[in-house]
């Protein structure tokens, strides 16, 4: 992984970045495109994250949501759920923030060659998987069947709606969207995201599944996939939680021998099944 940061740069010291663009994707979700000051944006792998600082408020781990192949800005999609994330979503074009990263282990893109790929996202979990989708579609010939399954609370909470519509129009990808509940006028599927699995063809011997979303969603998704014969070692989950220093020093995200920040946030499920068994980790 190439890195545009100066040699010897302290990973605990943030760069200053500016907001280049801001877009609202849902009632409480915003996408920011950032531009570092004084240096090119560092390259990243799908699934990695940055530490973003809202000056005077605090710092938070936020996954990349842009295209890894695109040169220029850094893209983050953020849900306003706490003081830091809310402050970040309230930034406007030209505002400054702190930026550290990229950090962590991403999705296993090399291991997907020749495989059927299921991308399964719940809510804001679509954001960390969007870089994977960009790569899957740009390099479509590398993979066998590709299915994108996305579930969210309501039609108003659907992220990246225009992109979902364009992906659905492709003839070489299966895309299914569901909502937990909807008012009259919604003509799509209603139900949790696991109810979409019967709509796709699954070859348990050939498939790799990538999961990101609320922990309860990932637990049920793993149960559904393994009941269909998918091996635990063919399932990957993102454990993006409890990260403070991002480099394994503070121990805040340590669970037994695992540091979520530096050993993850993406893990093969058989490595962390005991973590997902801990409710609301």
Please spell the DSSP secondary structure of 167-236, one letter per residue: HHT-SS-EEEEEES---TT--SEES-GGGGGGGS---TTTEEEEEES-HHHHHHHHHHHHHTT--GGGEE
Model pLDDT for residues 152-197, shown as the tens digit of each residue: 999 999 999 999 999 999 999 999 999 999 888 899 999 999 999 9
Which carries the bigger pLDDT value, residue 19 or residue 249? 19
The Cα–Cα gap between 21 and 23 comes to 7
Say which CATH architecture domain 110-276 belongs to: 3-Layer(aba) Sandwich (3.40)
Q: What is the pLDDT of residue 248?
A: 79
Model pLDDT for residues 81-140, shown as the tens digit of each residue: 999 999 999 999 999 999 999 999 999 999 999 999 999 999 999 999 999 999 999 999
**Cis omega before residue 163 (within 30°)?**
no
Give the percent of the chain with pLDDT over 90: 76
22 C-beta neighbours (distance < 10 Å), count:
17
Q: Which residues, listed in sequence order, are joined to residue 119 by a DSSP beta bridge?
A: 148, 210
Say which CATH architecture domain 15-103 belongs to: Beta Barrel (2.40)
Q: What is the pLDDT of residue 129?
A: 98
For the chain, what are the domain ranges?
Answer: 15-103, 110-276
CA R_g for the chain: 18
Q: Can you read off the two tokens belonging to residue 97?
A: 């923030």
Q: Are 167 and 175 in contact (CB under 8 A)?
A: yes
Residue-averaged pLDDT of the chain: 91
CA neighbor of 248 nearest in space, from 265, 266, 261:
261
φ, ψ (nearest 5 deg) of residue 181: -155, 155
Q: Are 44 and 265 in contact (CB under 8 A)?
A: no
Domain 15-103 and domain 110-276, same fold? Reply is no
Q: Can you read off the two tokens belonging to residue 185?
A: 């006028």
Residue with tokens 């058989």: 270
CA distances from 79 to 8, 30, 32, 60, 279 (A): 33, 7, 11, 12, 22
Q: Are 224 and 149 in contact (CB under 8 A)?
A: no
Q: 3-class DSSP state for residue 84?
A: helix
96 C-beta neighbours (distance < 10 Å), count:
15
Answer yes or no: is pLDDT of 281 > 60.
Answer: no
């Amino acid at each position: 992984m190439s890195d545009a940061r100066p040699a010897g740069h302290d990973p605990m010291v943030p760069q200053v970045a500016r907001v280049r663009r801001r877009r609202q994707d849902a009632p409480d979700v915003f996408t920011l495109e950032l531009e570092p000051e004084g240096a090119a944006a560092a390259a990243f792998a799908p699934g990695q994250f940055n530490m973003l600082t809202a000056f005077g408020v605090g710092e938070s781990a936020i996954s990349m949501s842009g295209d890894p192949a695109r040169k220029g800005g850094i893209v983050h999609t953020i849900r306003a759920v706490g003081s830091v994330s809310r402050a970040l979503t309230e930034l406007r074009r030209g505002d400054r923030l702190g930026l550290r990263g990229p950090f962590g282990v991403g999705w296993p893109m090399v291991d997907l060659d020749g495989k059927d790929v299921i991308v399964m996202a719940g809510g804001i979990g679509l954001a960390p998987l969007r870089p994977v989708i960009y790569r899957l579609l740009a390099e479509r010939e590398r993979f066998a069947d590709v299915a994108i399954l996305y579930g969210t609370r309501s039609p108003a909470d659907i992220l990246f709606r225009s992109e979902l519509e364009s992906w659905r129009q492709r003839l070489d990808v299966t895309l299914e969207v569901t909502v937990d509940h909807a008012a009259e006028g919604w003509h799509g599927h209603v139900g949790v995201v696991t109810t979409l699995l019967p709509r796709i063809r699954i070859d348990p011997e050939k498939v790799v599944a990538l999961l990101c979303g609320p922990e309860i969603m990932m637990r049920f998704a793993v149960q559904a996939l393994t009941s269909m014969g998918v091996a635990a070692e063919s399932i990957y989950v993102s454990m993006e939680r409890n990260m403070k220093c991002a480099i394994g020093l503070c121990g805040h995200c340590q669970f037994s021998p695992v540091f979520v920040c530096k050993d993850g946030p993406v893990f093969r499920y058989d490595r962390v099944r005991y973590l997902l068994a801990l409710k609301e980790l």
